[in-house]
Homo-oligomer: A and B are copies of this chain.
């Protein structure tokens, strides 16, 4: 029971006194093998419980039928949801998924890329670390003909394949809603400067203000490191203003959670004294009694599904998406405001 070797194609060949090539072909239903032989082979294979050794095939075919996924953190619902989507598509293609959590650590990201290359994955999906600003480790994969598709947290360059989410669309919806409700002073609580997401938010914030003919006012723009205490400080700063904003765009739902608590602590009322719009559309809002006016959904699942489909396109049609003759595979999903006030 221990080291009893698994049945191989040779075993079958020996039993039937045919060659291994015949067996191999018979098992694949190759037309050049006679019907009787094919049947006999398949019967024996069944009997002794033969199963092809995938390792051998991977080795020979130089494919592993495995894709690698590199994400910052599995514990964020956004990414676990994305991973779910990836797994769904991979399964349809009979592929396996191996994962690596970068934990938002650039060095780890590099190590994981190395590891995936060692493992000869057939493709890689990546959502970047917040510190990633060089991309040699990914470029390196080209040497091994390992295609890469980025999603959500993507490099700021054009010569790549990616799927990302356009925050502007959702934000425009949100801003329209605020303006319609009469808000004229709309603040911003942004994230740490080094995050790409932070830059994005300030850009669309400005665009939205402009679109609605509202002035830019540095006083009502603050930022947080995303630490709880810092989140509280940020909202307190806004609340302390002589002329405080009546609505605030907030970096994400987690920050809003702290803001809401702080507003209550200050004896003010959310959605009356001050309203919030945020990003993420966390499922927990369903259970909260105090929630932002709306949150902007970035469709983790859809993003990852499309990214995975792109990846398989590149795997299946070598050359696709390498920007040589074929164009890069790029897609931007519109974000959407989810209105909680309905």
Q: A residues touching B (Cβ–Cβ < 8 Å)?
A: 1-3, 6, 51-56, 58-59, 62, 64, 66, 73-75, 77, 80-81, 83-84, 87, 96-101, 115, 117-120, 142-145, 257-258, 260-261, 264, 284, 287-290, 318-319
Contact = CB atoms under 8 A, between A and B. Distances in A.
A144 B99 contact: no
A83 B118 CA distance: 22
B119 A96 contact: yes
A83 B77 contact: no
B97 A84 contact: no
29 contacts: A2-B145, A6-B143, A6-B144, A51-B118, A54-B118, A55-B59, A55-B62, A56-B59, A58-B59, A74-B84, A74-B87, A75-B77, A75-B80, A75-B84, A83-B99, A87-B99, A87-B100, A87-B101, A96-B98, A96-B115, A97-B98, A98-B98, A257-B287, A258-B287, A260-B287, A261-B287, A264-B289, A284-B284, A287-B288
Contact of A119 (B54, B75, B288, B319): B54
A120 B54 contact: yes
A324 B82 CA distance: 42
Given A6-B144, A96-B98, A120 B53 contact: yes
A80 B87 contact: no
Main secondary structure of the interface of A (DSSP, over half): mixed
Nearest to A82: B74
A145 B1 CA distance: 9
A260 B318 CA distance: 55
A83 B97 CA distance: 13
Contacts of A288: 287-288
Contacts of A75: 77, 80-81, 84
Given A58-B58, A96-B98, 9 more contacts: A1-B143, A6-B144, A53-B120, A54-B118, A74-B84, A75-B77, A75-B80, A98-B99, A260-B287
A290 B264 CA distance: 14
